Structure formats: structure tokens, C-alpha cells
Amino acid sequence: MVEYNRDQLAHLLRHARAQVPFYAKRLDAVFRSDGSIDWSRWAEIPILTKSFLRDSPAELMAKSLPPGHGPTKKFSTSGSSGVPITITATAIASVVKTAAVGRMHYLHRIDGTQANASFAFTKKHMTIPDVRIGTWSAFPATPQVRGKNLKINLRLPERKKLQIMMAENCRYITELPNTTEILARENLKLRKRLKLDAVVCYGQGVSEDQQALFHKSFGARAISIYSSKEAGLMACQCTAGPHYHVNSELVLLEVLDPQNRPCAPGESGRVVVTPLYSTAQPLIRYEQGDIATVGDSCTCGSQLPVLFRIEGRQDPVFRFPDGYGSEVMIDKTRLNKVLRAQAVQIAQVTELKFEVRYSAKKDVTEKGAAKLTAHLREALHPKLRVAFKRMAELPRNAGGKQQRFVREFA
């Protein structure tokens, strides 16, 4: 545990123990009889599961807040299952997150005077303008330096979105990588393409194929941030490479092996987080649901902890009668090539029934379907039954996200 975490973490533990009945006994292992904290016993605190937060959020609520931490605001996150989880966050958590975003913008040389675009998702029965244009500030320390901020209707055709961004001389997109991928593929069809300086990606992991596509289509670099509604802005991509630096001023992030021991550099494990400013609804040793690989020191000079990779962002673990599997062995490039698809979603409907949903002009050929079925059986499970379904638009989850991989049973 990093030393400078401990002061803020101690405040959180004492607050949770006093103000949240759920934690009154749960934290006993780390408290000595004189009230001091025995950090050597940190690992004895039980891990808080996502299912408990989903099913019993009220049990985690504090009776009161520390001075200066309020007011609070509720957020919902759809999660990989599409089942909303409600989070109550404090104003101070928003302030420190804004500061971390500003640092990321500064390190990556984001020009705050240029236009930035993102997309607004609504239910089908709701109507919103094609675009709302406001302003944004890349750096909280200099709020007077502002650029255009475009909120574009997500339901617009991809070409219309591109036309709006070109008309407003947009230089940045801050959006889900899967959403941006569809836009990038459409951009490649244009004689005069939208050019961007950077694509700032959140909510899902950015694949190497997506990074290459963004560069080819927009001429843009991809900047990935690791965040969640529950834990806030956990890590940002380093300027020196594709790895991440943990925002240790905001969150204690652990990477644990199957025996709940800390992973060494080069090892992968489950991400367990303790957001340091989650005083309204303390999440102490909360299992985020992702897999990360621990890094070593970084050539950029930052002393913040390093994560080489973050896996599992939005993509579920597949469950079979005799074990588990992930999408890591699936050749995504082959899928898109055979299907000639702009977007693909692989859904696990039951333990051995999969549905490949894709957006394309034509149905996949019988030969192509046979090839992909054989590939999926090799990559995931030899007894899979695979169906193919061409769709005008892939389904979105409750948060408006088009997921590449979904599991549709509990």
C-alpha cells in the first residue's frame, strides 16, 4: 500500500465504521484496541461484491458526511449485464475527479481551445436536437480557457454526425471506443475525411485494432482512461506508451490473484478498489469486475503505480457447463472481414447457444458462417451452437452502450 494513501484511507475507514452500520464490525480486523489502524491486516477486510451493491445499496449509505464533502448525487451504471447499479457520490469526489481529468489533459497536450464532441443517447420515444453546442474547459485551474463542446444525437446516421463535426472543426472526440469505431469506419468511406487530434476513450477497453483504425481514419491518437461510476477515474493512459498510471490520490487499487494475494509486476488478477472520497456510500475493497496486469516503474518519471493492461471492460466472462472462457481468443478482425460488418456483437444466450449479431448490407454466406462457427468453437467451446442474425442496429444496454460481447443469462 502506498504511504500517502493511508492518511485519507484512515479517514474513510473511521468514517465508515462510525456512520455505516454495515461496516461497524466488518472493519474490526484492522482496528487495534486503542483505535489505531493495523495496515498489515488490510487483506483481512472482506471483499465487497458488485451483486451486494446492486441488491443492497441502502445498507452502504452513511448516516452523515464529513464536513465539506456534500452535497450528494445519484448515478446509475448499466454494467455488463444491463442491470442498473445505483451509486451515491459526493461533490468532493467530483472535484478531485475533475482535477485528475485536467492533469490527464495537460500531460497529453490537449488543446482546450479546440472543439470536443461526444454523443447523447436517449430512448427511442424521446426527441433531442441534432446537436447541442456549449463550451468545455480542459483545465480546471484555468476555467476561462474554453472551447466548443458538441453533444451530438447518437441516433443520427454516422455520416450526419461526421458532417456536424467537420462543420464545427472538431478536433477531439470523448466517447466509448465501440461507438467511435463505427464512426471511424464510416469516415473511411468519405473522400474528404474528418481529421482529429485525439480520441479520448472511456467505459470500455480500447483494442489495438481500434487504435490502428482511429489513426487510419482520423489521423488521431487514442487516449484511454480507466473509470467507472462506482470508483471514479481510476487510471489514465501514460504519455510514454499504452500502459496506465493509477490515480492513487483518488483510489486505492489492488490487483489480486485467485487466493486474494497482491499480484507481482507482470501478473494479472482481479481489480479491487477503495475510492477514497466515496464517503456517502463507502465502497471498501470493492470488486470492480475487471482484470488488470500489474506494471513496474515507468520511463516517464511518474511515481504513480503502473498497470500494463486492463481487460474485461464491458466484456463478460462466458460461462459453460464445464468452466469459463473469455473473448481473448476470438479473432475480431476475422469476424468483421467475413461478415463485412460495421459492428458485431456476440451474445451468449444460454451456456452453449451463441448468437452473432452484425450490422451489414448482406447476410453472411453459408461458407462464411461455417468458418466462423468453427473458429468460435475452437476459441470458446467445442460444443457451441451458433446462429447468425443481421440487424439494422445492434442492441444497446441500459446505459446506451453497444457491447461487443454480452452474456444474457445470470
Average pLDDT of the chain, as a whole number:
88
Averaged over 133-147, what is the pLDDT? 84
Please check the confidence at residue 80 and state whether its pLDDT lies above 80. no
Sign of the C-alpha dihedral computed for residues 222, 325, 406 and 275 taken in this order:
negative
Three-state secondary structure call for residue 148: strand
- The torsion angle over the Cα atoms of residues 286, 292, 296 and 302, rounded to 10 degrees, is -70
Among 1-5, 17-21, 251-255, 375-379, the minimum mean pLDDT is found in 1-5
Q: How confident is the model at residue 397 (pLDDT cuts 50, 70, 90)?
A: low
Grid cell 495537460 in the structure block, residue = 106
pLDDT at position 399, please?
45
Say which residue, 317 or 80, is predicted with more confidence.
Answer: 317
Averaged over 75-103, what is the pLDDT? 77
CA distances from 398 to 54, 85, 259 (A): 15, 11, 34
End-to-end CA distance of the chain: 35
Among 67-76, 124-133, 178-187, the minimum mean pLDDT is found in 124-133
Please check the confidence at residue 319 and state whether its pLDDT lies above 90. no
pLDDT at position 402, please?
65
pLDDT at position 81, please?
36
Residue-wise pLDDT for 299-314, tens only, equals 888 889 999 988 756 5
H or E stretch at 178: helix 177-187
Q: Which domains does the chain have, with CATH numbers?
A: 3-98+226-311 (3.40.50.12780), 318-407 (3.30.300)
Please check the confidence at residue 324 and state whether its pLDDT lies above 70. no
Residue-wise pLDDT for 325-363, tens only, equals 766 568 877 888 899 987 789 999 999 999 999 989 999
The 10 Å CB-count burial string (b at 16+, else e) for 80-106 is: bbeebbebbbbebbeebbebbbbbbbe
pTM value is 0.74
Q: How confident is the model at residue 127 (pLDDT cuts 50, 70, 90)?
A: low
User: Hey, how many other C-beta atoms are within 10 angstroms of the C-beta on 135?
Assistant: 12
Three-state secondary structure call for residue 94: helix
Percent of the chain at pLDDT exceeding 70: 91
Residue-wise pLDDT for 225-264, tens only, equals 999 889 999 999 999 988 999 999 999 999 999 899 999 9
Among 118-127, 271-280, 400-409, the minimum mean pLDDT is found in 118-127
